[in-house]
Structure 1
Amino acid sequence: MKQSLLSTSFFAAGSRCCSGLMMLFLCCLPLLLTGCPATQSLPWDTKEDLQIALSDIELQEIKALETIFLLKLRVVNPNDTATEIRSMKCDLKINGEPFASGLSDERQGIPPFGTVSVPVVVYTSKFAIVGSVIELLQKDVQQYGGRPEEPLNYELDGQLHLGEDGKEVLPYHVAGKIVLNR
């Protein structure tokens, strides 16, 4: 009988030793993983998407068959790491109709918790502008007796290419209203 008591106490001591080593390993595991470069996208290391907003529209040039606008898009980085914008593409719709498209290849860095204004040149045919403006004016005269009150609804869809090589692609959709000052 004594023999069985000895063997049980030996195994109990061995299991306490293993559980102590296991606890030490589990406590040190996070410290080991934080130094490992392959762990930069761990599930608990979440990043928020960049926030994009239309901040300004400027008429640049009217040509025979097209009109050129400069859109200024505000890009906000809500993260604690810097990000680089390689390029930006956008398509602008006004009142649900395709209006203008363009690209920007201007590289810009966004600091942590920072913001930048990205200029994007967009092109549209002159005929689209004339048709849209006449339609808006007719609608305003009929509804408001010549006093325009209704804002234009816009939608911006596109892609933001991030990183040194631009291979990280962030699609975006922005919608809002433009109040015309006439």
Structure 2
Amino acid sequence: MPRLLATVLLILGLSACASLGPRDPLRIDLAGLEPLPGQGMEMRFAVKLRVQNPNDQAISYNGVALDLEVNGQPLASGVSDVSGEVPRYGETVISVPVTISAFSMFRQAWGMTSNTPRQSLPYELSGKLGGGLFGTVRFSDTGKLTLPPAGGAPLTRP
């Protein structure tokens, strides 16, 4: 009986290790920003992340955290306890509320007062999708946000 139990445990252990095999990294991109109601002097946005899974197994997540830098300066951060699954060879959009403090807004405005006019601002998005003990996936994305003309539409990503 002890040999049978040891054999079963060994087989289960090996099959668990096989399921942790190498997989392609998720592709996570900034899909959009939507304004949310803020409080006091803070601004809030819903950051939309497009998550693509190029693997043949669905990937479950439970929570997301992110940081957004614009023009080389920290701008916003946010967390969400959202959970779900990115289907195999599929994609999903996750919405994460982020907060921009008054200090961050001031720092960005100060940085834009330089003598060099800008049509677009570089951004860097980094964070993680929670997935349990071994399933946490870190991500980053970079690009440029195009500034709208005065009185025009919101920021866009080319």
In the superposition, the TM-score normalised over structure 2's length comes to: 0.76
CA contact (8 A) 2:75 2:108 kept: no
How many residues of Structure 1 are paired with residues of Structure 2 in the alignment?
136
Cα separation, partners in 2 of 1:99 and 1:54, compared to 1, 3 Å: same
CA contact (8 A) 2:44 2:97 kept: yes
Distance 1:58 1:134 in 2: 23
Q: Which residue is equivalent to 2:123?
A: 154
Distance 2:73 2:116 in 1: 21
Q: What does 1:2-21 align with in structure 2 at a 5 Å threshold?
A: none
Select between 46-55 and 56-65 the one with higher mean Cα deviation: 56-65
Which structure 2 residue ranges, 5 or more long, are not aligned?
Answer: 1-10, 150-158
CA contact (8 A) 1:86 1:106 kept: yes
Larger Rg: 1
CA contact (8 A) 1:65 1:127 kept: no
Q: Percent identity?
A: 30
What amino acid is aligned across from residue 71 of structure 2 in structure 1?
A: N
Cα separation, partners in 2 of 1:60 and 1:54, compared to 1, 3 Å: same
SS in 2 for 1:107: strand
Cα separation, partners in 2 of 1:97 and 1:134, compared to 1, 3 Å: closer
Q: Which residue is equivalent to 1:80?
A: 56
Q: Which residue is equivalent to 2:137?
A: 170
Picking from 16, 23, 26, the partner of 1:50 is 26
Q: CA RMSD in A?
A: 2.1
CA contact (8 A) 2:73 2:108 kept: no
Hey, which of these two has a bigger chunk of helix by percent? 1
The structure, 1 or 2, with the larger RCO (C-alpha pairs under 8 Å, 6+ apart) is 2
SS in 2 for 1:181: coil
Hey, which of these two has a bigger chunk of strand by percent? 2
CA contact (8 A) 1:61 1:68 kept: yes
Alpha-carbon offset, residue 97 of structure 1: 0.9
Distance 2:68 2:116 in 1: 26
Picking from 82, 100, 104, the partner of 1:128 is 104
CA contact (8 A) 1:90 1:102 kept: yes
Q: Deviations over 1:41-79 (max 9, x none)?
A: 449x53112111111012212432311111001111111
Distance 2:54 2:15 in 1: 21
What amino acid is aligned across from residue 124 of structure 2 in structure 1?
A: E
Picking from 72, 75, 82, the partner of 1:96 is 72
In the superposition, the TM-score normalised over structure 1's length comes to: 0.67
